[in-house]
Amino acid sequence: MTTPVTAPPLYARAMRVGDLLFVSGQLPVDGSGLLYPGKVGTEVTVEQAREAATLAASNCLDVICEALGSLDAVRGVARLGGYVAAGEGFNNAPAVVDAASQRILDALGERGRHARLALGVASLPLGACVEIELAVQC
């Protein structure tokens, strides 16, 4: 009989380099699983994807709290990266990622203002409709 071996993760949920904390891409996952899997514009509406982006951004904030102890340790947000699984003809990733930007601003105020990437992609892990990453100054 073969016993499965659990491999260590190949990456960290967050990595601090100097005064920057890089948060690995977070999916819209909560206690019930992945929210709105599929491609935006075909299986997932823009409003559903915005809800998913808000959840993924909240998950980024949770990782920051885990790594730094509190959001109070964040001096500023350098960059938010938003990746949207785009269905055929969908070209409005910024409308989806705006929801993640708003979540960060709501949580951090002006410290949350950031440079940003909003990009449509062919696919994301687990079939997610959106993935959000952050780089924050601490």
**Tens digit of each residue's pLDDT (9 = 90 or more) over 11-29:** 999 999 999 999 999 999 9
Q: What is the 3-state secondary structure (H, E, C) of the chain?
A: CCCCCCCCCCCCCEEEECCEEEEEEECCEECCEECCCCCECCCECHHHHHHHHHHHHHHHHHHHHHHHCCHHHCCEEEEEEEEEEECCCCCCHHHHHHHHHHHHHHHHHHHHCCEEEEEEECCCHHHCCEEEEEEEEC
For the stretch 37-89, pLDDT in tens is 999 999 999 999 999 999 999 999 999 999 999 999 999 999 999 999 999 99
Q: Tell me, yes or no, if the pTM score tops 0.85.
A: yes
